[in-house]
Structure 1
Amino acid sequence: MLSYGFVKVYVMVKVMAMNSIKSLRGIMITEAMGMVDRRTFSAAAKKKGGKGGAPADAPKVSSLSKEVKSTTTVGGNILKDGTDPKVLADSEYPDWLWHLLDKRPALSELRRKNIETLPFEDLKRFVKLDNRARIKENNFSKAKN
């Protein structure tokens, strides 16, 4: 007789495999359609220099000075009448900002650890990821195939 844990892992692996196959199928279809739709030109049709402005290989020169680039976040304005925000010193930003890109443990790694010794943040993450996995498992078992 199979244990519940083994069945749970088997179902999760099966769901992940089916999802990856579906996404690959979608990528292959869109790539195939793109190849049919794509228009290309021969190398002889491209002009070097001539009429129409600067050659295509020339680097584009920015109209912003180096001083403006280093003191403002160019393109960071989201308001219609606003201006680009100024770059502040690192000490003026909140502490949590510097930890946004830290690697967080995956569900499989959290399951291997003892739940009672996990820090609060990892415990919250474990509960969230475990609930999400159980919901996916239940939806997969109830789905009409």
Structure 2
Amino acid sequence: MVMSCTRLLRRISITNEAAQVMGIRGYAVAGGKTKKGSKGGGSGDTPTASVLTKELKSTTVFGANILKDGADPKIMPDSDYPDWLWHLLDKRPPLSELRRKDTETLSFDDLKRFVKLDNRARIKENNALRAKN
């Protein structure tokens, strides 16, 4: 009953007020204008200009504040940050490259990485062999 009524209503054009009374949802009209002071959307087709200056953008990390009453942190000079921070995004060698090198010549960090990746690969291989087909 409800489905057939809904199908009939789709064929009939009704006003927004009537649709609200009946509880029918519709799509927004493309290019429609909103009333002054209504919710949603900006003020017409003009894009809003950024109120942040270039100087403020280059000295502050916007959106990094997690506290209610806090302020966004300021960007400090590179010398104020720890050395390890600058090496976080360095490329590390994959397992295949570590296997080709001699384990005696590997640095401690590379040796730890080799052991971890090798164990992970062995576990995956054992799981694949034991898996039921």
TM-superposed deviation, 1:60: 3.8
Aligned-pair distance for 1:69? 1.4
Query: Alpha carbon RMSD of aligned pairs, Å?
Result: 2.2
User: Structure 1 residues 60 and 131 mapped into 2: Cα distance closer, same or farther (>3 Å)?
Assistant: farther
Q: Which runs of 5+ in 1 are unaligned?
A: 1-40
Q: Distance in 2 between matches of 1:92 and 1:127?
A: 34
Quote the residue 1:78 is aligned against.
Answer: 66
Structure whose CA Rg is larger: 2
Counterpart residue number, 1:51: 33
Aligned to 2:80: 92
| Displacement over 6 Å in runs of 4+ | none
**Quick one: which amino acid aligns to residue 70 of structure 1?**
S
Structure 2 unaligned residues grouped into runs of 5+: 1-27, 35-42
TM-score, normalized by length of structure 2?
A: 0.65
Aligned residue identity for 2:68:
K
Give me the TM-score of the superposition, normalised by structure 1. Answer: 0.60
SS in 1 for 2:58: helix
Q: How does 1:57-136 map to 2 (within 5 A)?
A: 58-136=46-124
For 1:71, what is the secondary structure of its paired residue? Answer: coil
Q: In structure 1, what is the Cα distance between the partners aligned to 2:68 and 2:131?
A: 47
